[in-house]
Amino acid sequence: MKATILYGPGDVRVEERDLPRIEQPTDAVIRISATCVCGSDLWPYRGLQAINGPTPMGHEYCGIVEEVGSAVRTVKPGQFVIGSFFASDNTCPHCHVGYQTSCQQREFISTAQAPVLRVPMADGTLVATPDVPPDAMVPSLLTVSDVMGTGWFAAVAANVKPGMTVAVVGDGAVGLLGVLSAQRMGAERIIAMSRHEKRQQLARAFGATDIVSERGDEGVARIMDITKGIGADAVLECVGTQQSMMQAIRSTRPGGSVGYVGVPHGVELNGEELFFSHVRLHGGPAPVRRFLPELIDLVWNGKIDPGKVFDLELPLDQVAEGYRAMDERRAIKALLRP
Ligand SMILES: [Zn+2]
Ligand SMILES: [Zn+2]
C-alpha cells in the first residue's frame, strides 16, 4: 500500500509499505475511510522535534473493520469504527478513572495516514458507530478521534459549567472545537482569541460571543476589560507555548480553572505566581477514549458538526500539500482520503 512517511523537515512522501496485518489476537485491521494532518505533526515537519530516520505518520483515523484477531469481542468486520490516538486496554486502573491516554498498556498510533491501519487492543480502543455513516458525516466522525475529543477535554479540564464566561487561547482546530465544546456545555460568554479572519468566523459559528485579537499582556488586559476586571471562569489553553500558557493563567479569575491541551514546548511556570493566582491547572494528552461514545452520539444525531474545521480535502497521495498548507496557515486542517 502507499502510505505517508516523513523523511525530514519539509519532506513528506507517499511510499510503498507492507500492508498491516493482525499481529496479536487482540488486534484489529481497519480500512481507513478518512484521516488527517494534525497540528502536532507540524512539530517534526518543521524540524522542531527530532525524528529517527524515515517515520510513518498519522494518528487520527476512522474506517471499516476488515479483520479482527481471535480474542477480539466487541468489534467485528464490516463495522465503522473510531479510536483514539493512543490505543488502550480500557480495563486498567487509569482507564477505569477515565485517563485512557495514561493506560498502563498504552500504545501510540503513528501510522494512520495510510489506506489500512493495525489497531492494538481493539476492544479497549475502538468504538463502533450505530451503522455505516453517510459519507458527509465522515469528517465530523473523524474529528472525535483527536481534535474534537481534545477540545472537549480542554473544556472538561477547565471545569466549564452552564452560565460561565470562558476564554479560549488558540485558534487552531483544537481551539475552535474548544469553543464548540464550551458552547455545548452551556457557557454563556465565550471569548475566542484569534487574529485570523477566517478562524474568527468559524469560532463565531461554533458559539464564540466575543473575539480578542490581542496577544500576551494586551490579550490579558482585553479579557479583564470584557469581564469587568474579574477574569474568565474557565480558560482553555490550546497552543502550548510560554506566552499562551501565561496568557491563559493570567486571564483566569481566582478560583477558576485552566484546561491545557496544547503540547508544551519550552513552558516553565513560576511557582510563586501560580501560588498567588489561585488558579487550578489540569490538562495533558486528552483521554479521547472516555468521550468517544458521547461525542459519536452528538455527531450521529446532528447536534454538533465539528467537521467544519476541515477546510482542505485531498487524496492521500497529495498529503505533502496538506502539510504545506497547514504549515503556511493556508488551511486550518487537512482531511485525507486514501
Ligand atoms: Zn492529532
Ligand atoms: Zn488501561
Q: What percent of the chain has pLDDT over 90?
A: 98
What pLDDT does residue 324 have? 97
Residues with CB under 5 A from ligand 1 (ion): 38, 146
Distance (angstroms) between ligand 2 centre and the Cα of 162 equals 31
What number does CATH give the domain 2-146+287-337? 3.90.180.10
Distance (angstroms) between ligand 1 centre and the Cα of 255 equals 30
What number does CATH give the domain 151-283? 3.40.50.720
For residue 13, give Cα distances in angstroms to 55, 57, 62, 117, 322.
Answer: 10, 10, 22, 18, 11
pLDDT-based confidence at residue 168 (cuts at 50, 70, 90): very high
- Section 226-246 average pLDDT: 97
- Section 75-85 average pLDDT: 97
Distance (angstroms) between ligand 2 centre and the Cα of 285 equals 14
Residue 20 above 90 pLDDT? yes
Task: Check: pTM over 0.75? Answer yes or no.
Answer: yes
The label of the residue with cell 477574569 reads 231
Distance (angstroms) between ligand 2 centre and the Cα of 125 equals 10
What pLDDT does residue 49 have? 87
Distance (angstroms) between ligand 1 centre and the Cα of 140 equals 14
Q: Which ligand is nearest to the CA of 142?
A: 1
Instruction: Indicate if 151-283 has the same CATH topology as 2-146+287-337.
Output: no
The label of the residue with cell 494586551 reads 218
What pLDDT does residue 233 have? 98
Instruction: Round the average pLDDT of the chain to a whole number and report it.
Output: 97
Instruction: Express each pLDDT in 95-153 by its tens digit.
Output: 999 999 999 999 999 999 999 999 999 999 999 999 999 999 999 999 999 999 999 99
- Residue ranges of the domains in the chain? 2-146+287-337, 151-283
What pLDDT does residue 48 have? 87
pLDDT-based confidence at residue 68 (cuts at 50, 70, 90): very high
Residue 18 above 90 pLDDT? yes
